[in-house]
């Protein structure tokens, strides 16, 4: 039995990051190249910052939770998210800087570093793990992509892990709409080739110059009744944030 619920969906954070940093990117037909596409998508985040308010609904067989959180991000290596409600958990916050993740627990007024062995634990009781916060952004390096199908509207891209890549999925299949360039669905297969997870994207909105799907639904397929829905509100891009902001002091700040 794993320490926390083991629901590995680190690419969800990729999507999360994508949502926060924008996903809209015109691709020139002549240099169309899948790895390049993913890489350019990844590079698109670099130097970008965001502030948002997120509503997260988690439904499991045992409980339903509705959380509101505020979050800040800088590039793909800095990330801070803090719970606003429910009141019981207000102030609980997570800070990610590069490969480290900390949690702040206001009730006991302590910061806890998540050890590498606990990265598989569920994050904030959702279907997202701590691991996702750390490894998500390396997906373009760890997978090899091929185009499975192309229609006038969308691409279907298959990602297969590189032989020595430290990944947990056996296969990832993206469905990406061409215009505007947004993900529609990502499917995750385990090492036996069984489809275990699906993430759906909708509520596509244009924020500033970017067009992004504001809602992401994570469906752990082995538990058909469970899901985590993240809905972005008040999403702002390219705000003033420095690296100093992503500090333990900021993590501990209560509002």
At CA 191, angle to CA 190 and CA 196, rounded to 5?
10
CB of 124 to another protein, least distance (A): 7
Sign of CA dihedral 113, 116, 244, 91: negative
CB of 85 to another protein, least distance (A): 12
Helix, strand, coil in percent for the chain, rounding step 5: 20, 45, 35
Closer to another protein by Cβ: residue 37 or 83: 83
CB of 82 to another protein, least distance (A): 12
Contacts with 84 (C-beta within 8 Å, 6 or more apart), sequence order: 53, 67, 68, 69, 70, 90, 255
Q: Which residues bind another protein (CB under 8 A)?
A: 1-5, 58, 60-65, 86, 88-89, 92, 103, 105, 107-108, 110, 112-115, 117-118, 121-122, 124-125
Where helices occur in 29-187 by DSSP H, the ranges are 34-45, 130-135, 139-142
Count how many Cα atoms sit within 13 Å of the Cα of residue 31 in the half-sphere of its side chain: 9
DSSP state of 59: E
Closer to another protein by Cβ: residue 117 or 151: 117
Closer to another protein by Cβ: residue 88 or 255: 88
DSSP H or E stretch at residue 208: none
Cα–chain-centroid distance for residue 240?
22
Closer to another protein by Cβ: residue 17 or 60: 60
CB of 17 to another protein, least distance (A): 22
CB of 122 to another protein, least distance (A): 6
Cα–chain-centroid distance for residue 160?
19
Closer to another protein by Cβ: residue 25 or 105: 105
Closer to another protein by Cβ: residue 5 or 245: 5
CB of 162 to another protein, least distance (A): 29
Closer to another protein by Cβ: residue 107 or 233: 107
Where helices occur in 34-124 by DSSP H, the ranges are 34-45
CB of 135 to another protein, least distance (A): 19
CB-CB contact of 251 with 93 (8 Å): yes
CB-CB contact of 132 with 9 (8 Å): yes
């Amino acid at each position: 039995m794993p320490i926390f619920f083991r629901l590995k969906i680190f690419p969800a954070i990729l999507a999360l990051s994508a949502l926060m940093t924008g996903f809209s990117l015109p691709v020139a037909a002549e240099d169309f190249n899948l790895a390049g596409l993913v890489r350019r998508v990844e590079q698109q985040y670099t130097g970008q910052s965001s502030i948002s308010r997120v509503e997260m609904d988690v439904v499991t067989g045992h409980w339903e939770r509705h959380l509101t959180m505020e979050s800040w991000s800088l590039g793909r290596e800095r990330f801070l998210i803090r719970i606003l409600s429910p009141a019981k958990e207000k102030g609980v916050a997570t800070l990610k800087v590069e490969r480290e993740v900390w949690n702040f627990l206001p009730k006991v007024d302590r910061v806890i570093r998540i050890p590498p062995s606990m990265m598989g634990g569920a994050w904030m009781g959702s279907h997202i793990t701590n691991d996702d916060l750390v490894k998500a952004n390396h997906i373009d390096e760890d997978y090899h992509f091929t185009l499975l199908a192309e229609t006038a509207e969308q691409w279907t891209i298959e990602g297969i892990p590189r032989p020595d890549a430290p990944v947990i999925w056996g296969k990832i299949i993206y469905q990406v709409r061409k215009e505007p360039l947004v993900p529609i669905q990502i499917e995750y297969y385990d090492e036996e080739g069984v489809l275990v997870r699906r993430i759906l994207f909708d509520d596509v909105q244009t924020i500033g110059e970017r067009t992004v799907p504001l809602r992401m639904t994570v469906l752990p397929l082995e538990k058909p009744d469970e899901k985590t829905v993240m809905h972005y509100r008040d999403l702002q891009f390219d705000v003033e944030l420095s690296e100093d902001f992503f500090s333990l002091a900021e993590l501990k700040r209560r509002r």
